[in-house]
Amino acid sequence: MKVQLSQVGKRFKYEWIFRGVDAEFQSGNSYAIQGPNGSGKSTLLKILSGHLSPSKGKISFYQDGQPIEINQVYQSISYAAPYIDLIEDFTLREAIHFHQKFKPLLDGLSTQDLIQILAFEKSVHKAVKYFSSGMKQRLKLVLALCSRATIVLLDEPGTNLDSQGIEWYRGLIERFHQERLLIIASNVPADFDFCDQQLNILDYKKKR
């Protein structure tokens, strides 16, 4: 999978969040989008996911050299972010089963495997609304990284994780990144310092 941005910019009302982004993202590589809070990292990630359209420029997706229509890209993407909510009335097992209706798990993985990766065996029948913030974040990350998706987008993946949780997250990345395209938006080095390439959103800030 390849994602290509050509002079991409995003504006809300009269304010440009960023402009002139030229970048190419290739499967098998990991990328970090850096910048301070409120700088537009999440906005760029939403454009990459197809949830937002650029105000200027073009975003193109290719699979094996062939273009993919933007309305078909969602099938190839898994996404974890603080602003993407879980259905909290589901139990853990129900949440995983529900997720699989839209995004199948990677070959060879089962619901029980995900429960073991999470180390949540004692919480199988607990409603997600009773999980701690750290447990919810782990569940979001597992669902994103263990889904059968060509592109994995993670926004501030270390949110609500303690030092042990960060170590667990990095192990999850090492195990399941595989040959996919991984893009991480964060300003915390522990979230992305293993990435092959880094893009700083501040490089695309321009005055009106």
Q: What ranges do the domains of the chain cover?
A: 2-204
Beta strand 15-26 with 2-12: parallel, antiparallel or unpaired?
antiparallel
**Residue 176 identity:** F
**Domain 2-204, CATH:** 3.40.50.300
The stretch 1-19 carries a mean pLDDT of 94
Tell me the per-residue pLDDT of 98-116, one tens digit each, with 9 for 90 and over.
999 999 999 999 999 999 9
Residue 64 CA: distances (Å) to CA of 32, 46, 67, 68, 141: 23, 23, 8, 10, 27
Tell me the per-residue pLDDT of 106-154, one tens digit each, with 9 for 90 and over.
999 999 999 999 999 999 999 999 999 999 999 999 999 999 999 999 9
Contacts of 15 (CB under 8 A, 6+ apart): 208
pTM of the model as a whole: 0.95
Q: For the chain, give the percent of residues with pLDDT over 90.
A: 89
